[in-house]
Amino acid sequence: MSKNTQVLIDSLPEGKLSESNYKLVESPMPEASEGEVLVKTIAFAITAGTRAGLQGSASYAGAPQTGIVMNSLGVGEVIAGDNSSFPVGMKVQARTGWQSYSVHKTSELTEIPEGTDPLHYLGPLGINGLTAYFGLLEVGQPKTGETVMVSAAAGSVGHMVGQIAKLKECNVVGVCGTDVKCEKLISDLGFDAAVNYKEANFRQTLKESTPNGVDVYFDNTGGMILGSALFRMNTGGRIACCGVVSQYDTSSPEPGPKGIPGLLVNKRIQMQGFIVFDFASEYETARSEIIKWIDSGKLKILTDEVKGLEAAPTAFVDLLAGGNIGTRIVRLDLE
């Protein structure tokens, strides 16, 4: 146990991300200084948003760098340190990155209460769940009976957006990239409709699936799907801009969709970009509501588990190609 296994960013992708952009290394075991704790990773989430951090220009995730551990949210157990608030044995949520051990200031940690599955802090109680919660409810402001559309609907955020919208008694239409995902959204998660954007007749099917138009569009993708959504938006509609997965896995993002800003004017549409961190002061309120939904069976958790650090690069490349259903989690506790 004297070594730390890490996945480093070895090179920045020129076009699409590939496994060769990463390098698995053995490093010395990190040590906790005063005020810090050492965390052993249980699992971490792989999410599309971290791809933006590898692109040429700086994003909110900062400018891209090589030679560093790949960034991700994880959960783990405190195994060393001298802090009464985060004692040895406590489970925590932290930005562990893709590595087996990491050192953290306690201000960077979130305690996971005893009795709660730590993996929930990578899903419904983690950044993905909170993003779905605040983006839909605070930014999208759906009202009972309205139609909510969500893209990347089988993804870690999308599958929760749709379920929360159903809890708010909305009609829910998901957009995703395979018929298997469409089927799962409808039969397992209660979506009213789901549309495969890779089908040639996508725009027509989307139209038929939204007979009353769209009042709230939760956009995880940008690009063509955003362009199609604009034409289905009702007057006074709201677009919660959460992510741009269609543009992450490339070095030259496309122009924005036609109809911006023309359709925004004609239909008085609001587009609002948001980042979940802006709602940090309300996380605990949200988590207590989400826990109630989970406990009562109203919110289903969809995870897509992968085993072992060495599987992470392939799991990320595959996720960017739409390979995941639900939250993709890399588990180190099964090794």
| d(C-alpha 60, C-alpha 46), whole Å | 17
Of the pair 140, 313, the CB lying nearest a copy of itself is at 140
Of the pair 82, 282, the CB lying nearest a copy of itself is at 282
**Three-state DSSP state, 81:** strand
24 forms part of the interface with a copy of itself (CB under 8 A):
no
**Three-state DSSP state, 274:** coil
Applying CB under 8 A, among 16, 267, 300, 307 the residue interacting with a copy of itself is 267
Question: If binding means CB under 8 A, how many residues of this protein chain bind a copy of itself?
Answer: 36
Of the pair 28, 255, the CB lying nearest a copy of itself is at 255
Residues 95-134 that bind a copy of itself (CB under 8 A): none
| d(C-alpha 3, C-alpha 9), whole Å | 19
Candidates 104-112, 163-171, 265-273, 311-319 — which segment interacts with a copy of itself by CB under 8 A? 265-273
What is the torsional sign of CA 227, 249, 205, 210?
A: negative
DSSP letter for each residue of 18-82: -GGGEEEEEEEPP---TTEEEEEEEEEEE-GGGGGGGSSS-BTTBS--SSSBPP--EEEEEEEE-
What are residue 173's phi and psi, to 5 degrees? -120, 125
53 forms part of the interface with a copy of itself (CB under 8 A):
no
264 forms part of the interface with a copy of itself (CB under 8 A):
yes
Residues 195-224 that bind a copy of itself (CB under 8 A): 219, 222
Segment holding 240, helix H or strand E: strand 233-241
Of the pair 99, 156, the CB lying nearest a copy of itself is at 156
257 forms part of the interface with a copy of itself (CB under 8 A):
yes
State the residues that interact with a copy of itself by CB under 8 A: 52, 59-60, 219, 222, 226, 239, 241-244, 247, 253-275, 278
